[in-house]
Amino acid sequence: MREEFKKFVLRGNLIDLAVGFILGSAFSAIVSSLVNDIVMPPIGLLLGRVDFSNLFINLSGTPYPSLAAAKAAGAPTINYGVFITTVVHFFIIAVVLFLFVRQVNRWTAHPTAPAEPTTKTCPYCYETIPRPATRCPHCTSVLTPTEP
């Protein structure tokens, strides 16, 4: 069992998965910074100097000047600004992954030869029949191998 586990751990697919996971975590941190520090501030400015990280609905009824103050007081809040930021974050990651997978598929795609036709047309009744047929099942004509 130990040897089987060792073989499983050292197999290439598991190592590739681990490397992909680590790179994905690093990429997620980069995208988080991109969204929080570069994308959302101009959007907030265009919408009238809105700070998305501070948009929330207070469910306690007690007014709080910021989301941080509401969280410090333990007030229940709906943080829709954080949710909007997370949706933008997800959208950017989805687009980048789509473009990456599309490019990898282009690199690994092998041109396929056109498939040999599996049927032919009977020259007497014009019905579709299997290519290796020597007699038409529709009109019972005898076909020579050179006929299409």
Report field, pTM of the whole predicted structure over 0.85: no
Rounded-to-5 percentages of helix, strand, coil across the chain: 55, 10, 35
What's the topology of domain 2-108? 1.10.1200
Q: Give CATH 1.10.1200.120 domain extents, the chain.
A: 2-108
Residue of 102, 9, 100, 89 lying closest to 52 (CA atoms): 89
Residue 127's pLDDT is: 92
pLDDT digits (tens, 9 = 90+) for 24-63: 888 888 888 888 888 888 888 888 877 788 888 888 888 8
Yes or no: say if 96 and 35 are a contact pair by the CB < 8 Å rule. Answer: no
Q: 81-111: per-residue pLDDT in tens?
A: 889 888 888 888 888 888 888 888 888 777 7
53 CB-near residues (< 8 Å, 6+ apart) = 36, 40, 67, 81, 82, 85
pLDDT of amino acid 76: 92
User: How many angstroms separate the CA atoms of 43 and 50, rounded?
Assistant: 8
